[in-house]
Amino acid sequence: MDHSRISAVAEVVDDAMHGDDVWIASSCAFCYGSCSIRAHRVDGVVVKVEGNPDSVVGKGRLCGKGISGLMTHYDPNRLTMPLRRTNPRKGLDEDPGWKEISWEEALTEIADQLRRVREDDPRKLMIQRTTTVTAGRVPLGAFANAFGTPNTSVAGGGLHCGNGAHFLSGLMHASWSVVPDFQYCNYAMFFGASKGHGAGHASASNMGLAADARVRGMKMVVVDPMCNFAAAKATEWVPLRVGTDGALALAMCDVMVNELDIYDLPYLQAKTNAPYLVGPDGLHVRDPETGKPLVWDERSRQARPYTDAASADMALFGEFEVNGARCVPAFEKLREHLKKFTPEWSERITTVSASKVRRLAREFAEEARIGSTIQVDGVTLPYRPVAAIAFRGAQGHMNSVYNFFAIDLLNQLVGAADVVGSCLGFNPACHGYPETGRLAYVPKPGPDGLMVTGMWMGYHYPYPLPEPKLPVQLGLQELFPLSMNSPFQASSDQEALWQKFDLPYRPEVLLNFGANILMSIANKEAVAESLAKYKFFASIDLFLTETTQFADIVLPDCGYLQTLDSRSNFPFIFSLPGGMGEWCWPIRQPVVPPIGQQRRFQDVLLELADRIGIRADLNAAYNSAMNLEPPYRLEGDRKYTYEEICDAELKCNFGPERGLDWFKKNGVLKWPKKPQEVYWRPFVDVRVPVYWEFMIPVYEKMDAIAAPRGIRIPREYYEPLPDFLPCLSHKCQKPGFDFYAFYYRDIIHTNSFTMENAWLDEAAQLDPFSYAIAINAQSARKRGLHDGAMVWVESESGRRVKGRVRLTEAIHPEGLGIAACAGHWAPGMPVAKGKGVFFNELLDLDWEHASPANLNLDLCARVKVTLVENGK
């Protein structure tokens, strides 16, 4: 391609901007944290991006990725023209033969394809988007809902992170993620999480909060195979074998309950289902009339529905006879269950010594200060200054669900859930914007009194679990109610699975927004095969990525400094910082105009909707997604611009005076949080499940659908209480395969996207680990490996990657850590090309490597490391 046309920045400067010198408030999009920024524009050129001190989201702080944003914006390799593929063959080594075409030609062809599949079967359209650009969530989702396809994907960002972390955070904390209450927490345990250390939701905000907490004296214990960004700043690093976090947490729970006898009894009685009676079949014993679970009422000495007894009178221990059957409270069941997870058992699995497990459990339990209260802004609240949090590291495995369940049990046992100092969901309850009453939400009781989130990122709530069904989605998610994202949209065995479930259609058209699934999910060969099957593939992108190289039509997108988003940090459960402070609503607004023929993806989707005749459906989908109410609802098939849609949302939420113009000028709107919102749990009559009775009927229904079709779903993944289930890598017996390979988020990179940024690439080259393979120094020397040696890393199934090893003491002796999602090969990303190691090539992408519980892909691999000899 000839990029010379965009080499001179001056060519794209709007005349109106000559002579200007302005700071413009907006939002970053270098990760999904969406920190608030302000961009300095001089003579129409962005010369600096920094954090916006007026906003709660970052409070003026911005990470190195955000600071570097202008380098991506002005990257001469940005796409600026629509392109058509001229080579019909699609493959990893095929040259697409790109030819520049007009927008009219591109949109006509895409609209023809969309119209054709919609008339045939709208489910044949697959829409995927990157998680990095949160501005894509509503427009792409609305388009899918208007079109009528349930088939959407958020690529590797969703599949690798979301299934375990978000389900559990929603079920237990009514939020997308959890974080320590940094302002009050005294003892935080991080299990494979980096909240507060440069990545993830509310990234820059949490960095500041975590730093302040450490200065205040918060003890921070990081459980992680590698001592990198979080552990390096911790009070204590606890290295463990990859993928065994759940075993460590279960052993800590056992010590707290069975050795120390420390737990928050009133919390368990009032706020969990611990008192619910469980019969011999594992199900709750229920009131015959109402169907409500029974508890044993110590006061009246009889079983009563949980709604009819005072929580203080509910028994947590003992055995009772109810209607002729022996039964025990769920907590009694849990206590017995935990006895098998002794610290000695855990040591064999995790390599963390039994004595250390006992010490950690004691420290955590004692620091919880069970029974204490504290005043915040004049309100007396429970005070539990401990938190155990987890994210991608702990949950990216076959045992994803149980790992997270076990870790959160630590919080639940001591009542450290959404109270002062404890494990907090990100903003699960909000009284709403005071002047309009809009944006109010709060968790509420659902079936059996268990908590239903007040706000979620979509409409598939974690609880109550949907009824398992014969799947009609490409990812088979209807059969797996604990899942969100699925590997089967691109897996090597997708056709065999679709046949087994009699899927009545096959995907034909793929619409991609910025996702690079060839790199972000697993090995590229499997994904390439799935991509090549589409009859038509249109990609809206900033660069010719590896995935976009498979497209038939490429549309040049605007970057985050050129686009508009009326809700860059909403829903508040996603990336608005938790804890006390202020509610804050920033927007993302254009700082500079498009370059060449770039167009905003939101405008492209509106145009496509008009061309295929679904504008009324799209307006309705926006009404639903933004909860627009009269008089701001979008009407009929009126052709609104995206500015008008954003304006409607802002005015609907904040009143007619605070529309898009107000936000463009003022940047953010803030109002104070109340203690009753942040520490909502004592105020809301909901319980959370420490005993997952619902898993029993769910499994039976799933099995009834799957077993007759030759699919065996292992029952052990669907028990009401957590267990440790090994990953495939833990079972490997092959000689020489003595390392557990894993990848970790590099602090200076976001997924595969930022590798093309020249400043970040330079920083990565200065970092000894960003583009290398981290390996324990002693383990390496035993195998004759020296620092800087070029090695092959080969998985059990024969997949292999090459890279240079870096010897370090800061990794578990069995661990092999690879940073980020590097190793690009596309010619359209020349800065990124050939840099770093493509870890995901080691990952198999099939049924066998997916969690039977939530479809999370197993993200570790047992590997053999050998020296590269003579370049081979």
Residues 6+ apart with CB under 8 A from 673: 580, 581, 582, 583
- The residue written with tokens 């009889």 in the block is 302
The least CB distance from residue 451 to other proteins, in Å, is 13
Reading the block at residue 790, the tokens are 């070029």
Shortest reach from residue 513's CB to other proteins, in Å: 13
Distance of CA 377 to the CA centre of its chain: 33
Q: How far is the CB of 371 from other proteins (least distance, A)?
A: 4
740 and 225 Cβ atoms separated by less than 8 Å: yes
In 522-629, beta strands by DSSP E: 536-541, 553-556, 582-586
CA torsion through residues 511, 849, 834, 775, sign: positive
| Least separation in angstroms between CB 263 and other proteins | 11
* Cβ nearer to other proteins, comparing 238 with 381: 381
CB of 500 to other proteins, least distance (A): 21
CB of 791 to other proteins, least distance (A): 33
Closer residue to other proteins, CB minimum distance, 133 or 218: 133
Query: C-beta of 153: minimal distance to other proteins in Å?
Result: 8
**What is the DSSP pairing of strand 815-819 with strand 773-776?**
antiparallel
C-alpha–C-alpha distance, residues 580 and 424, integer Å: 11
Residue 211's CB is within 10 A of a number of other CB atoms, namely 15
Question: Which residue, 280 or 371, is less far from other proteins as judged by CB?
Answer: 371
288-292 own/partner pairs: CB under 8 Å, 24+ apart: 288/323, 292/448, 292/449
Provide the minimum distance between the beta carbon of 314 and other proteins in the complex, in angstroms, as a whole number. 11
Q: How far is the CB of 870 from other proteins (least distance, A)?
A: 43
HEC readout, 694-720: CHHHHHHHHHHHHHHHCCCCCHHHHCC
Q: Considering the complex, state which of residue 351 and residue 436 has its C-beta at the smaller distance from other proteins.
A: 436
CB within 8 Å of 348: residues ≥ 6 apart: none
Minimum distance from residue 246 beta carbon to other proteins (Å) = 22
Q: Which is nearer to other proteins, 122 or 239 (CB)?
A: 122
Residue 633 Cβ, how far from other proteins at the closest point, in Å? 5
CB 268 within 8 A of CB 316: yes
Contact 571, 457 (CB under 8 A): yes
Tell me whether residue 683 or residue 868 sits nearer to other proteins (CB atom).
683
| Interior angle at CA 60, CA 54 and CA 62, nearest 5 | 140
Question: d(Cα 733, Cα 748) in Å, to the nearest integer?
Answer: 36
Supply the minimum distance, in Å, between the C-beta of residue 74 and other proteins. Answer: 27
Cα–Cα distance for residue pair 513/154, rounded to 1 Å: 10
Residue 235 tokens read as 């009070």
**Amino acid found at 88:** P
Determine contact, residues 546/824, Cβ cutoff 8 Å. Answer: yes
**Residue 626 vs 780, nearer CB to other proteins:** 626
For 744-778, b where at least 16 C-beta lie within 10 A, e where not — what string? bbbbbbbbbbbbbbebbbebbeebebbbbbbbbbe
Alpha helices, H only, 415-469: none
**Nearest to other proteins of 617, 794 (CB atom):** 617
Beta-carbon contacts of 116 under 8 Å, excluding residues fewer than 6 positions away, are: none
Q: Which is nearer to other proteins, 631 or 834 (CB)?
A: 631
At closest approach, how far in Å is the CB of 392 from other proteins? 11
Structure tokens belonging to residue 497: 């699975």
Structure tokens, 268? 């368990």
- Nearer CB in complex with other proteins: 627/666: 627
Considering beta carbons, is residue 459 or 784 the nearer one to other proteins? Answer: 459
Q: How far is the CB of 722 from other proteins (least distance, A)?
A: 23
Evaluate the CA torsion angle 261, 266, 269, 272 in order and state its sign. Answer: negative
Helix (H) or strand (E) holding 246: helix 245-254
Structural contact between residues 177 and 201, judged by C-beta atoms closer than 8 angstroms: yes
What are the CA-CA distances from residue 603 to residues 107, 136, 658 (Å)?
12, 12, 23
Which one, 520 or 770, has the nearer CB to other proteins?
A: 520
Nearer of residues 293 and 590 to other proteins, judged by Cβ: 293
| Residue placing its CB nearer to other proteins in the complex, 58 or 122 | 122
How far is it, in rounded angstroms, from Cα 867 to Cα 864?
10
Q: Which is nearer to other proteins, 154 or 650 (CB)?
A: 154
Tell me the closest approach of the beta carbon of residue 617 to other proteins, in angstroms.
Answer: 5
